[in-house]
Amino acid sequence: MDLYLDYNATVPPHPEVREVMDAAARERWGNPQSVHAWGRRARAVVEDAREQVAALVGCAPRQVTFTSGATEANNTVLKGRALAEPDATILVGAGEHSSVRVPARYLRELGFDTAEIPVDGDGLVAPAALERALRQHAPVSLVSVMWANNETGTLQPIAELAAVCAEHGVPLHSDAVQAAGKVPVDWGAGVAALSLSAHKLGGPQGVGALVRDDEVLALDPLLHGGGHERDRRAGTENVAGIAGFGRAAELARRDREAHAAHTRALRNRLEARLSGGPAGAEAVSAGAERLPNTSCLLLPGVAAETLLMRLDLEGIAVSSGSACASGGLQPSAPLLAMGYDRAQAASAIRVSLGAATTADETERFAGRLEALAEQLRQRPA
């Protein structure tokens, strides 16, 4: 059947992205740190892309540091703050991606103080909950709350959370990987740092960025070496990958509203059918503000792991949560944090749509999901 409905895991590279990457690899292969003509040509590619990424989130180009991806960016922020203020607490949302949750746990094991801010039944960090956490765990050196949840699509009230942090003089970092390109991500919301990833925008894998305000958020580099990226991140820049990231950011900024309208209409129709039909699906956080393309579905009586294997055999790609954790057997950590029990969390699948998804594809998927759900429920225990 060949239906790809896992755009939150990765977005197929846009043809224009591949073109600029090919051109950079052929013609701009110099080391961007070199002062000769080959180096200057490569440096121009990097700086052009820096402006394109900055325009996507409304920051200054000098605030963009290119990384190997959002995992590196998230680790840089959390570990950098722990080293900068070792006697203070780092607070992270309970529903964060593993690239935030796991570094926080690692730091805790090393003796640093980290704690989670609870989320409500929709996966939201309420400003009042953040206020309580800041008072309970003072002094706090950093708060990290993702802009949009990668599994449920829930959008956090970032501007409100930033205002609470500002009252306490604490910088707010947000993993904006899933939000950028799908909803407005505005540096003016008051964050001190943002993490971004190219391949979630139709760019290449293995390239990302940490956007930060150096005056508000002092960090030691995660990687030490040469003076690359204004001494913020050592290592020769991936020129072709960065070129692709820049073009993907430009396209995402241009097409965001049209893509959001397209995917939202498909998602809403899909959820209406599956919730009222034989699948008996429940859309998680359906009453909250969500990413327009994302649907997390609970299928009572169905093991998501088995369902995904059956769908895969038919050429249908969806997910049971974060692609980074799909090899594990543990239920979704964000769903558990939201109050769902382990059986409910283990029945959840994530369907994430893209610009190329069609109404016919979602209809065909719905039909197969309904049939498979019925089959799996009828199997003897």
Residues 256-298: pLDDT tens digits? 999 999 999 999 999 999 998 888 999 999 999 999 999 999 9
- Residue 321's pLDDT is what? 62
| Amino acid present at 174 | S
What order do you get walking across the sheet with 282-283 strand by strand?
282-283, 294-298, 348-352
> pTM to 2 decimals?
0.94
Do residues 208 and 347 share a domain?
A: no
Do residues 79 and 33 share a domain?
A: yes
| Residue 329's pLDDT band (cuts 50, 70, 90) | low
CATH label of the domain that carries residue 108: 3.40.640.10
Which domain does 82 fall in, by range? 15-250
Do residues 347 and 244 share a domain?
A: no
Do residues 261 and 206 share a domain?
A: no
Do residues 95 and 141 share a domain?
A: yes
d(CA 321, CA 338): 14
Structure tokens at 192: 């001190």
Number of domains in the chain: 2
Residue that finishes a domain, picked among 250, 272, 304: 250
- Residue 380's pLDDT is what? 52
Contact 199, 245 (CB under 8 A): no
| Residue 88's pLDDT band (cuts 50, 70, 90) | very high
Do residues 217 and 82 share a domain?
A: yes
Residue that finishes a domain, picked among 226, 250, 274: 250
Do residues 325 and 191 share a domain?
A: no
Do residues 322 and 202 share a domain?
A: no
Give the angle subtended at the CA of 249 by the CAs of 247 and 255, to the nearest 5°. Answer: 100
Annotation says 324 is catalytic: yes
Matching residue, tokens 């700086």: 47
Structure tokens at 381: 């225990």
d(CA 38, CA 31): 7
What order do you get walking across the sheet with 113-117 strand by strand?
64-67, 208-212, 193-197, 172-175, 140-144, 89-93, 113-117
User: Which entry of 59, 165, 296, 324 is annotated as an active-site residue?
Assistant: 324
DSSP states of 139-183: SEEEEE--SB-TTT-BBP-HHHHHHHHHHHT--EEEE-TTTBTTB
Do residues 227 and 353 share a domain?
A: no
Mean pLDDT throughout 145-164?
Answer: 98
Residue that finishes a domain, picked among 229, 250, 271: 250
Do residues 234 and 366 share a domain?
A: no
Do residues 199 and 303 share a domain?
A: no
